[in-house]
Amino acid sequence: MDRRLALVTGASAGIGAAFARILARHGYDLALTARRGDRLEALAEEIRLRSGVETLTIAADLADPDATDQLLEHLAAHGRTVDALVNNAGYGLPGAYADTRWEDQQAFLQVMLHAPCELAHKLLPGMVERRFGRIVNVASLAGLVPGSAGHTLYGATKSFLVKFSQSLHLEAEAHGVHVTALCPGFTYSEFHDVNATRAQISAATPPWLWLGADEVAAAGYEAVEANRTVCVPGAPNKAIAAVAKLIPDDWALALMASQGPRFRKV
């Protein structure tokens, strides 16, 4: 195929769907994956009609350790290689750590850490060989500020993705591969509906702290094209990230202890 292919995980809604539309407008064919096959097919048909690119859909649950290999085998069977990867799939797991089931935390880590790292590891050699690649790891502003009680592994996994992206950026940039950690703050999507925190967070946050999924994805696309290592969309989020670097750790942790319950279920 003449066109490059982008693989987007968690593509059925929100930031993932917005990324898919942007990539298609820039001429990429798409491989879209998420758990909801009907939503993927609807998005794929919309993009095919609007942009005229090829769209492949693979319904998969990245909590399954075999899912990444199955995705790549599916693409290989269609004769396609991946030139751009958007590791977007993710969710929140509310509650205090001791009150959750380990099986749920294990699945969370599989989706949020193992799958993005495995996909990047298996796709990067081909990108290096072709001297072209784009990798966007959708992290979060939560990965740039101190941890808070509740959703215990969420900020930790997002902080990992930031550091992982920085290291991968340094290793890959000489080979034509751009790597970016995208760190959005509050974003209008289904994220807070899925973990039933929409009402709590909406009541605790002003509208100016929120961005649309299209804005976030556009910022991420521009950042990876410009080969910027970390992208924090929105002026308020940039200010929060900057302040978090400047204030002493004990002050920052005390602030999270006092304000965290407004945003997290414990």
Q: What's the pLDDT at 44?
A: 96
What value does the mean pLDDT of the chain take? 91
Size of the chain, expressed as the number of residues it contains:
266
Q: What's the pLDDT at 208?
A: 76
Ranges of the chain with pLDDT below 50: none
Residues assigned a catalytic role:
154
Structure tokens at 71: 């995705």
Q: If you ran DSSP here, which 8-state letter would residue 134 be given?
A: E
Q: What's the pLDDT at 260?
A: 61
| Under 8 Å between Cβ of 120 and 72 | no
3-class DSSP state for residue 209? helix
Which H/E stretch holds residue 45? helix 37-51
Rounded CA gap, 148 and 255, in Å? 9
Q: What's the pLDDT at 27?
A: 96
The superfamily (CATH) of domain 5-262 is NAD(P)-binding Rossmann-like Domain (3.40.50.720)
Of 127, 99, 22, 16, the closest CA to residue 62 belongs to 16
3-class DSSP state for residue 151? coil
Q: What is the pLDDT of residues 22-41, one digit of tens each?
A: 999 999 999 999 999 999 99
Domain boundaries, the chain: 5-262
Q: If you ran DSSP here, which 8-state letter would residue 93 be given?
A: -
Q: What's the pLDDT at 25?
A: 97
